[in-house]
Chain A
Amino acid sequence: MFTDFDFDVIQRSLPYLGQGMMFTLGLTFLAMAGGIVLGTVLALMRLSSFKVLNLPAGGYVNLLRSTPLILVIFWFYFLVPIAIKKISGDAYAEGLGPFHSALIAFAMFEAAYYCEIIRAGIQSVPRGQVEAAYALGLTYRLAMMKVILPQAFRNMIPILLTQGIILFQDTSLVYVVGLTDFMGAAGKIAQRDGRLVEMYLFAALVYFVMCFAASHAVKWLQARYSVGR
């Protein structure tokens, strides 16, 4: 079965695959950071008692959560250049390039998922904590920053990281707009050298090892640092 397996093609293309992996990791971390920041804002909006804040946030989250990621990538790939032209007022403005379009798409998409995680995290903080903070005379802002969010985030860390692993896998979908992430690099070598079997199996193995290790690290972290109540 593996008699004509060409391991050499993997070795020859390692530097190129490495560049692809750096791209994948960069996209994952930036999108994760953007997604968490935006997700926190959305979660605070959804939990707000003002309709002007919670309705649009709820609509945004439900819309993005019912749309396939690939369609969202296409949307941003198409919308971002238009938005840039509108904002800059220059009809010939250079776009942000495919990397930044993809980054914005992933951050906006993940924000919807992070929002729901963070909202659940905030709601898991006992009500008494909020009341105690207000009773001490803290403003909404201070109560959130100093009391609620620090506790909420500590509870959420494992789920946020697990979502990060899912995001790491999902970044392979930038393939549809032709970017060279890890999977894109493997695919390009596979097509060029006619070595689909070797390259795709190798890509699967690398993803498997990384995600398996990461998800077990998260489990360990969860057991080690979970807050006892």
Chain B
Amino acid sequence: MNFGVFFQPAFSGGGIYLDWVLSGIKWTMLVSILGWVIAFSVGSVVGVLRTAPLAILRAPATVYVEIFRNVPLLVQMFIWYFVLPEIVPKALGTWMKQGMPLPEFWSAVLCLGFYTASRVAEQVRSGIQSIPRGQTEAGLAMGLTRVQVYRHVLLPMGYRIVVPPLTSEFLTIFKNSSVALTIGVLELTAQARQISEYTFRTFEVFSVATAVYLLITLTVTVAMNVVERKVRVPGYIGSTGK
């Protein structure tokens, strides 16, 4: 075993292999965090629509969730990267193929974002639906509009209830960001693979990559435990553990 491999000069690019690892971590973080921004915003909207009283609002949200949940992430990744530029209007397609900066990166961000949004939507929906009906009825009886009921009654409660499952969705997008390597994003797993191919130090390189993922997971879990304690609703499931 020889962990000195990370300080050897890299095959290309001038630095050492450690620089490749750090660059991989940077791209993993960027893809995951930007993807999460999309996932959280789109997922919240879709999740709220899933609970809407009007079928015309519910239906598109249900279709969205079913489509994005039932197609493997890898296939979705290829569709965003290879298929989308071909089926959009020609001018846009040409720009996506030639003019767009960092095409692999943005395809991966959009793909992970919209895929994870379907999972976030399900969590938001279950959070809202776990609030007793009486709260909605009380809100409406007090003269709030439906939108105000969501804004002031359901969402503040719903988000607090679903903090733990949303944490695990965030960890999932983090791990899923490795699928971006299939379209050529050089994130952590791709860099680990690449270094092992140049140096044959597979064991050392994969161990370090695994340790980094583990460290990130642990950090997020510990941080979110603090958040969970701060925001939990007394008397609700998940808040019973003292």
Contact = CB atoms under 8 A, between A and B. Distances in A.
Interface of A: 1-2, 63, 66-71, 74-75, 78, 169-170, 172-173, 175-176, 183, 187, 190, 196-197, 200-201, 203-204, 207-208, 211-212, 215
14 contacts: A68-B175, A68-B189, A70-B178, A71-B206, A74-B206, A170-B72, A175-B74, A176-B182, A183-B74, A196-B82, A201-B79, A211-B69, A212-B66, A212-B70
Interface string B184-214: 0000010011001000001100100110011
Contacts of B76: 204
B73 interface: yes
B217 A169 contact: no
Given A66-B217, A175-B182, A176-B182, 11 more contacts: A66-B175, A68-B189, A74-B189, A78-B206, A170-B72, A172-B74, A173-B74, A173-B179, A176-B181, A183-B75, A208-B71
A69 B175 contact: yes
Interface string B79-90: 100110011000
B82 A200 contact: yes
Contacts, number: 98
A175 B183 CA distance: 12
B176 A67 contact: no
B171 interface: yes
A89 B28 CA distance: 39
B217 A71 contact: no
Contact of B71 (A2, A173, A211, A215): A211
Contacts of A173: 72, 74, 179
Interface of B: 66-67, 69-76, 78-79, 82-83, 86-87, 171, 175-179, 181-182, 189, 192-193, 196, 202-203, 206, 209-210, 213-214, 216-218
Contacts of B171: 66
Nearest to B175: A68
Most interface-central of A2, A63, A66, A74 (chain B CB within 10 A): A66
A60 B66 CA distance: 32
Contacts of A190: 82
B72 A78 contact: no
A175 B182 CA distance: 8
A200 B75 contact: yes
B83 A197 contact: yes
Most interface-central of B70, B181, B214 (chain A CB within 10 A): B70
Interface SS majority for chain A: helix
B79 A200 contact: yes
Contacts of A208: 67, 70-71
A164 B67 CA distance: 18
B184 to A, nearest CB: 12
A71 B71 contact: no
A197 B72 contact: no
Contact of A68 (B75, B182, B196, B213): B213
Contact of B70 (A67, A175, A197, A211): A211
Contacts of A170: 72
A211 to B, nearest CB: 4
Contact of B189 (A70, A200, A204): A70
A208 B63 CA distance: 12
Given A70-B181, A175-B182, A197 B86 contact: yes
B86 A207 contact: no
B72 A172 contact: yes
Given A1-B87, A66-B171, A204-B75, A71 B178 contact: yes
Contacts of B209: 71
B217 A204 contact: no
Contacts of A169: 70-73
Nearest to B218: A66
Those 7 A-B pairs whose CB atoms lie nearest each other, nearest first? A66-B217, A68-B178, A211-B70, A169-B72, A68-B175, A172-B72, A196-B82
Nearest to A77: B202
Contacts of B66: 212
